[in-house]
Structure 1
Amino acid sequence: MSAREEILERLRGALKDAPAVPEVPRTYRTAVDAPEAERIRVLVDRLEDYKAGVTVVEESGVGPRIAELLDGAASYVVPAGIEEAWLADADAARPGRRRTDSRTEPLTVTELDGTSAVVTGSAVSVAETGTIILDGSEGMGRRAISLIPDHHVCVVRASDITMILPEALRRLDGTRPLTWISGPSATSDIELERVEGVHGPRTLDVLIVRS
């Protein structure tokens, strides 16, 4: 018997007389019926509290706003499958800065570290907690591209905003690599001194697109 098998056997023996886990009552809220304007208002409030930049735009305003946010970027990376219309103005203003990351041709960590910004879409957002979730699918890409560049520009569609977490979880595939973002990267040391840019982008700009 291997050491692993021995440990598992001991665990089975210890749990043999344990009672079955009772059904856990789930009486918490699972949905909140809120209009789009209210979901946007709450999400904006939470994101701004986290020191993220937030702009609410119509679909036609996404491209011009992204171009403004990327004006000072020497280069930026986008995931395969991102909407080209979002990038047309930025590419027209200063061509040759865009890098595309895909599963077949991923950028190296060194290349990402030398990239000024990243532009992604998002899967779903939670207004109440100010959380944006990426699931690694088309338009969002690998987790690394949203964590290594210093500036993250994230597009959130209003139709993908839920008011509370249980609503968001129902929209997600739990087997995918989920990245949960609640404001720019920050942490506090033992003296509660806030330090930004520790484990992700130092600057987060969110574009919320009205339906």
Structure 2
Amino acid sequence: MDIRICNEHEVDDTRLAALYDEVLAPSFPPSELVTRVEFLDAVTDPVSDTCAFVALDATGEVVGGIVGEWFAECRVLLASYVAVAPGLRGGGIGRRLITESLTRWWSRFSPLLIVGEVEDPRVHPATEYGDPVARLRLYDGLGALILPVPYFQPALHKDADRVRGLLLMVFAASPADRSDGYVDASVVRGFLEQNLLACEGRIDPDDEEIGALRAAVDRADRIPMLAPRQYLA
């Protein structure tokens, strides 16, 4: 399919709304997705840390998208959502979207890491929102790597619960990190703390899940990166 990739400033509000309604909402359960109002407010705010790319077909219809959150203090970009419209998955749109957006984000932000969240297929079965096995195979083919930490998505709303059983993956890292298969633990620690604060507003020192996550990151100065195929066995 002939598609065009546009950033959030190159499309109008109607297409950004279509990205949420027609691509993101059918691809993620409500517990994993910010509200429509929150998404549109963030992605249209010129000083927001939210950024996005939208995939348009030859007629200008929205067929996919990727949304990122830039954490300037730790210089990490979280690719929080990657999705293709139902009925068009598996046709190469996602691969093109990820490849181009990562290249452009790397040039724009000069991050230390670009990371993403994905459901662990050992925990989450395939549902109407998508197939975790297929997603992980796609990311494996793109060269993404997994950080072996007990990751969870922080609660996105005051009344929401955390989303557990997720994998934290590295889409892009500095050439030195990629070459030796490790990342700086202090960078990962900074991201985890900033993400928790942004979503939940505080870090409870007595929280067992946070404690387990911190312990995994604090074991050494560097954290190994593992191939996603290890989680598909």
TM > 0.5: no
Length-normalised TM-score, structure 1 = 0.26
Q: Flag the structure with higher helix content.
A: 2
Length-normalised TM-score, structure 2 = 0.25
Larger RCO (alpha carbons 8 Å, 6+ apart): 1
